[in-house]
């Protein structure tokens, strides 16, 4: 089972609070873990940012939405409890709970209207009302989409540029990562090749105490076993212990080179 959505957490959270007591997020998390049969693996799953678990993030937003509908209220010391309205709704024995159910309350409709710049609750689409992603998840998904599109645009420009541009780009990348000491040092260490790639040697550190053998392919198709084997063979031939293989495309499945010192 995957991590329950924040909407799936709403009804179990209300039922947990039905005892009328004040509870915190830790207590609620343990109750919902049991009620929803969340595995330890799912419980530990992090948001892409790595700063919070998906479970706790979604629990937090379930509580936020219920609070905006005045079904739950926050008390002292960051605790919360069921309100009279929340108890009345539970007395109706709803089979499920979600944002669509909460729109019956004017305070919640006002909250939803305010969460859309220039929009109103009445103009929200059904997809908006039934969305299962928390704001953090939506932001991270949007970031991933933008990053992927930017990567694709950059690769497209690199493939259109002349080989000399790719060589300079690789040198600049390695210097920015701390290799070679300076751009001039790296430029002397990395030589030209006729196939549009870059093959050469670059200092691992500023003092030049160790060298890394480099191969870069400006390709559109994936790099496969023959190219990786050839590179490994060249490392052995030069008695090299370290190498880096760069490509503008990708490696075939199971053929990603692993360089060990």
Give residue-wise pLDDT tens across range 139-155.
888 888 898 899 889 88
198 in any annotated domain: yes
At residue 75, the pLDDT reads 93
Residues 38 and 44: beta-carbon distance below 8 Å = no
pTM of the model: 0.63
State the number of CA atoms in the 13 A half-sphere of 16 facing the CB: 25
Please count the structural domains in the chain.
Answer: 2
Note whether 121 and 178 are same-domain residues: no
Note whether 138 and 166 are same-domain residues: no
Q: Is the pLDDT of residue 108 over 70?
A: yes
At residue 88, the pLDDT reads 97
Distance CA 25, CA 221 (A): 50
At residue 123, the pLDDT reads 39
Note whether 134 and 18 are same-domain residues: yes
Cβ within 8 Å of residue 16, ≥6 positions away:
23, 28, 31, 32, 35
Region for 77 from its dihedrals, namely left if φ exceeds 0, alpha if ψ lies in -120 to 50, beta otherwise: left
What does R_g of the chain's alpha carbons equal in angstroms?
28
Q: What is the mean pLDDT of residues 217-244?
A: 82
Note whether 138 and 219 are same-domain residues: no
Is the dihedral angle over the CA atoms 141, 146, 147, 148 positive or is it negative?
positive
State the number of CA atoms in the 13 A half-sphere of 171 facing the CB: 21
Domain that holds residue 193: 162-247
Q: What is the CATH number of the domain that holds 132?
A: 1.20.120
147 in any annotated domain: no
Q: Is the pLDDT of residue 130 over 80?
A: no
At residue 191, the pLDDT reads 57
Residue range 176-229, pLDDT digits in tens: 887 777 777 776 666 555 444 456 777 777 676 777 888 888 888 888 888 888
Residues 36 and 4: beta-carbon distance below 8 Å = yes
Note whether 109 and 167 are same-domain residues: no
Q: Which residue has the higher pLDDT, 242 or 90?
A: 90
149 in any annotated domain: no
**DSSP β-bridge partners for residue 247:** 217
> Which uninterrupted H or E stretch holds 198?
strand 198-203
Distance CA 258, CA 195 (A): 23
User: Which two tokens mark 151?
Assistant: 């990567």
156 in any annotated domain: no
């Amino acid at each position: 089972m995957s991590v329950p959505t924040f909407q799936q957490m709403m009804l179990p959270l209300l039922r947990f609070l039905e005892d009328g007591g004040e509870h915190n997020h830790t207590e609620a998390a343990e109750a919902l873990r049991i009620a929803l049969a969340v595995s330890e693996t799912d419980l530990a799953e992090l948001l892409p940012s790595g700063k919070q678990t998906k479970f706790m993030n979604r629990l937090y937003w379930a509580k936020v939405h219920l609070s905006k509908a005045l079904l739950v209220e926050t008390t002292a010391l960051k605790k919360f409890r069921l309100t009279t309205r929340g108890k009345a709704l539970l007395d109706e024995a709803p089979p499920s709970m979600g944002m669509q159910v909460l729109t019956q309350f004017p305070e919640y409709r006002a909250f939803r209207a305010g969460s859309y710049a220039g929009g109103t609750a009445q103009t929200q689409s059904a997809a908006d009302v039934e969305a299962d992603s928390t704001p953090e998840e939506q932001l991270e998904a949007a970031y991933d989409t933008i990053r992927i599109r930017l990567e694709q645009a950059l690769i497209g420009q690199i493939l259109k540029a002349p080989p000399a541009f790719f060589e300079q780009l690789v040198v600049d990348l390695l210097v920015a990562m701390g290799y070679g000491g300076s751009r001039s040092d790296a430029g002397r260490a990395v030589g030209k090749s006729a196939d549009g790639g870059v093959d050469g040697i670059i200092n691992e550190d500023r003092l030049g105490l160790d060298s890394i053998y480099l191969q870069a392919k400006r390709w559109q198709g994936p790099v496969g076993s023959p190219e990786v084997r050839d590179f490994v063979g060249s490392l052995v031939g030069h008695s090299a212990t370290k190498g880096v293989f760069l490509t503008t495309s990708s490696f075939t499945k199971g053929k990603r080179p692993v360089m060990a010192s």
